[in-house]
Amino acid sequence: MRERKESLEQAMGTATAYLDWQAQRDVDSRRHVRPRNQALQRGRSEAAAGTRCQPFEAEVGEPSTAGEDGSKPGLGAVGHTLEMQTLYRTIARAAKSTHPVLILGEGGTGKEMVARFIHYSGPFREKPFIPIDCGSLVPALIECALFGYVKGAFSGANHSQDRLTAVAEGGTVFLNEVGELPADLQAKLLRTIQENEICTVGSTRRVPINVRILAATNGDLEQSVMHGTFRRDLYFRLNLLSLRIPALRERRQDIPSLIAHFLERIVCDSGQGKILSGEALKAMLAYDWPGNVRELENCLKRTCALTSGPLIYTVDLPPEIANLPRPEASNGNGHASKIIPIAELEKQTILSAVAELNGDKLEAARLLGISKTTLYRKLKDYVSQA
């Protein structure tokens, strides 16, 4: 509980910087982040032209190259925490190898994205990448997909079917949810990895293959080995290289960057700019995101689609996030207080007004009834307080 509180406090610090960036991003035009007004204008113009723009990598810290020195590989991942830096280095090393890789992580963390990056950054990049979802196919279909079959192998096999390992010859086969494989297919997969050969269903002839195996699971394969539901020898073969993608709740400090990344993507796709209010951002930071990055992305897409104005409030978020109890501020005597200081109310009002007007500070000052000089001074004060 204490660790979760510390993580939430760190994320709140990151969120404060994010909110100040939202309000201040065009006060100083020399800063490294471009104003959102330019992003909105570009999104609208490209949407009108029927084109699709790319994510703003410079704004969310997405690098374009892989490296072992802590730089983040250009795999579409967003994150600056220590856990993500460690993951980036491990991915960069795995990409240079030809050995099997076991990718661990909860659903929605991006296991297939990581597998694709390993393939397209490695020695097999010019060859096909074939994903197979072991959790959604019945065992017979998985076997036929992996190993193919000959005519007459079973009822209804009126013609021979080539194997995916032949389609992917020289490339990569990605086995998602490999822990769902039944015992007989585990044995065949083990032999395939050990001998670099397969036996087509309905045939006794062994065919040499040249593919790299990447596997992923959201379960605990070690526990499955202990319970006898997963072969120990296959586990060791797949676990030659392994990496674990941290859950989103374990890296809350990355949530503001991910939100900025997905909101910019929405600008590119629809031409409609959206900004989170401070309270909405705090609500999203307090939520545990059991569906991880996929859930966060879908939440923002749904919220933006259902919200008419440019500013997203807490009530616009899904109920499980909007209604989540959050720690209340202390009044200094150890008792929770629901009273919000006037200075904080003023700050929220100013930031919301600037955001609502897409950064038009002259109009915001006029509507708030304060001078332009006062507005700019307060915005600078908010940045210095971060």
What DSSP string describes 264-304? HHHHHHHS---EE-HHHHHHHHHS--TTHHHHHHHHHHHHH
Beta bridge partners, 312, equal 276
Residue 40 shares a structural domain with residue 88: no
Residues 6+ apart with CB under 8 A from 328: 336, 337, 338
pTM of the complete model: 0.66
Residue 294 shares a structural domain with residue 231: no
- In order of 138, 214, 222, 353, the CA distances from 111 in angstroms are 21, 10, 18, 40
Q: Quick one: pLDDT at residue 233?
A: 95
What are the pLDDT digits (tens) for 160-214? 565 555 566 788 999 999 999 988 889 888 988 888 887 776 666 777 888 899 9
Give the span between the Cα atoms of 91 and 80, in whole angstroms: 15
What are the pLDDT digits (tens) for 75-110? 567 888 888 888 999 999 999 999 999 999 999 999
Kindly report the CATH number assigned to the domain that includes residue 148.
3.40.50.300
What are the pLDDT digits (tens) for 339-375? 567 777 778 778 877 877 777 888 888 877 788 888 8
Beta bridge partners, 206, equal 199
Residue 233 shares a structural domain with residue 255: no
Residue 256 shares a structural domain with residue 223: no
Work out how many domains the chain is built from and give that number. 2
For residue 67, pLDDT over 60 is answered with no
Give the span between the Cα atoms of 100 and 106, in whole angstroms: 20
Give the span between the Cα atoms of 213 and 305, in whole angstroms: 39
- Domain-ending residue, one of 245, 272, 287: 245
Domain that holds residue 212: 82-245
Residue 167 shares a structural domain with residue 272: no
What is the chain's mean pLDDT, rounded? Answer: 75
Residue 258 shares a structural domain with residue 216: no
Q: Quick one: pLDDT at residue 39?
A: 39
Report the percentage of the chain scoring pLDDT > 90.
31
Give the span between the Cα atoms of 365 and 353, in whole angstroms: 9
What DSSP string describes 123-189? TTTTS-EEEEETTTS-HHHHHHHHH-B-TTSSTT--S-B--HHHHTTTSEEEEETGGG--HHHHHHH
Residue 333 carries which DSSP code? S
Kindly report the CATH number assigned to the domain that includes residue 44.
1.10.8.60
295 within some domain: yes
